[in-house]
Amino acid sequence: MPEKPKRWKTLFEEKILKNPDIFHDRAILDLAKKYDEKYTHWDELRRKDIKEDPETVWALMKLSRNGQFKHVNFADVSLTYIVTNQSQRILYLLDKNTAGLMVTDEPLKKNDMKKYVITSLMEEAIASSQIEGAVTTTKAAKRMLRERRKPKSQSEQMIVNDFLTMQRIKEMQDAPLTIQTILELHKLITHDTLDDSTFEGRFRIDDEVVVADLFEAEKVYHQPPSHLKIHEYMGNLCKFANEDTDDSFQHPLVKAIIIHYVIGYVHPFVDGNGRLARALMYWYALKCNYWLFEHMAISKIIKQSKGRYNMSYLHSETDDNDITYFINFNLWAMERALDNTKQFIKRQQMEQKEAKKYITAHPELNYRQAEMLKVMIEHKGEPMTISEMMSRFNIVHQTARTDLQRLTSLGLLTMRKRGRTMVFTYVGDQNHNDVQDDDKQTDLVKYRE
């Protein structure tokens, strides 16, 4: 738990008013500027090996920040933030790359990206669930989603719920945010995962919920505000999301991150708050036409830096809800997710070029069939189903079935039954696959009926 700094007014009186000559001390002024540019928290500053009094340096940093703060209020919760120079750089990058044409070696238009969306939604759903404790490998989780297999554990159910929520987010991106929508999304995201199912899509009814250490329950990091004010907080949040005026303009991505923070801070539900917060951040970005966000697995980056993610919450709360720390971290994660997306698209473009080679060797194939064959070759020893190909290529059942049967008729794949399901294997791996396949029945269900 980071140490909370002294109250600003106390520091101002002790360190600045009583020592006005401090403004002529170049050494201490330079230190304050250096750590302010990095937006260092007091708990980090006090540990620095510096000759000057850290409280004096902090007082100067806070004096500078107080003159730049933007303010956002939700009932009795007041948030402040600054868009730092580094954040402005990232926002410009995201504006340029996620709301228009992506800058790659071969620029892709919005419609050209549609075929790549499924994998990204899977990555986001899996990582967001893993952040909250889902125990499964990414590979196994992807396999389950691609095969549309019924979840067999609470962890798998969390991932399926997150995946469906991300799809729902896409559908509602043009709709206003309402309390009913928040409850609907929570019900979807927690379906069959709570100890008491009556709390699916229902605000908490007491103040028993805290954010605490998993292994030391008495170590409480955050005590959410009273449950009696949740409805008011959420009403304010909806108004904040739906309204924009010239005198209260917030950059859309900063606003998306604020929505993320408020859900985490208020903790309106007994569980599922983190997943809901990240989903609503995506929703607002898509609502504001940052269309590439549906291809960016931001939670994957957050999962890899979970300690920094948690600390950005704590730094913000312990510094009088200065959420600059939280904004800075999430923008950093968005930039990394954008980099990953660019690399992913480049790999996809290379695979399309590779597919041309298969078409040259098999002119009877179309591009999609050639890409399917390439996938089958790459996943040696792994039988593929029609449902998996539907998910991989974002196509309907009949198209996937026709393509796989075409490859089979050409002698490139073998087809056989596994229970009630047809599975297809690259012909070069037939013997290897027969040894590994356990012939267990795969239970296929439609997630959305």
Structure tokens at 158: 């969390």
Cβ–Cβ < 8 Å for 349, 105: yes
Residues, the chain, total? Answer: 449
- What top-level class would CATH report for the domain 362-436? mainly alpha
DSSP state of 417: E
The DSSP H or E segment spanning 73 is strand 70-74
Among residues 113, 140, 141, 115, the alpha carbon closest in space to that of 128 is found at: 141
CA separation (Å) from 39 to 36, 90, 261?
5, 15, 18
Among residues 14, 55, 10, the alpha carbon closest in space to that of 32 is found at: 55
> What is the C-alpha to C-alpha distance for residues 315 and 324, in angstroms, rounded to an integer?
9
Give the helix ranges, DSSP H, for 197-269. Answer: 230-242, 252-266
DSSP-based three-state secondary structure for 101: coil
**pTM for the structure as a whole:** 0.80
pLDDT in the model for residue 356: 67
Rounded mean pLDDT, 150-158: 92
Task: Assess whether pLDDT exceeds 90 at residue 59.
Answer: yes
Q: What pairing do the DSSP bridges indicate for beta strands 413-418 and 220-222?
A: unpaired
Name 383's Cβ contacts closer than 8 Å, sequence gap at least 6: 418, 423, 424, 425, 433, 437
Cβ–Cβ < 8 Å for 125, 282: no
Distance of CA 398 to the CA centre of its chain: 32
pLDDT in the model for residue 438: 34
Bridge partners of residue 78, in order along the sequence: 73
pLDDT in tens, 286-342: 999 998 888 889 999 999 999 999 999 999 999 999 999 999 999 999 999 999 888
pLDDT in the model for residue 61: 95
Which of the four CATH numbers 1.10.3290.10, 1.20.1630.10, 1.10.3720.10, 1.10.10.10 does domain 72-343 have?
1.10.3290.10
Cβ–Cβ < 8 Å for 408, 423: no
Task: Assess whether pLDDT exceeds 70 at residue 443.
Answer: no
pLDDT in the model for residue 435: 30
> What is the C-alpha to C-alpha distance for residues 369 and 359, in angstroms, rounded to an integer?
9
Lowest mean pLDDT among 38-47, 205-214, 410-419, 430-439: 430-439
Measured in degrees and rounded to the nearest 5, phi and psi for residue 161 equal -60, -45
Name 353's Cβ contacts closer than 8 Å, sequence gap at least 6: none
> What is the C-alpha to C-alpha distance for residues 275 and 235, in angstroms, rounded to an integer?
20
pLDDT in the model for residue 172: 92
More confident residue, 430 or 133: 133
Cβ–Cβ < 8 Å for 147, 387: yes
> What is the C-alpha to C-alpha distance for residues 406 and 387, in angstroms, rounded to an integer?
16
Rounded mean pLDDT, 402-426: 88
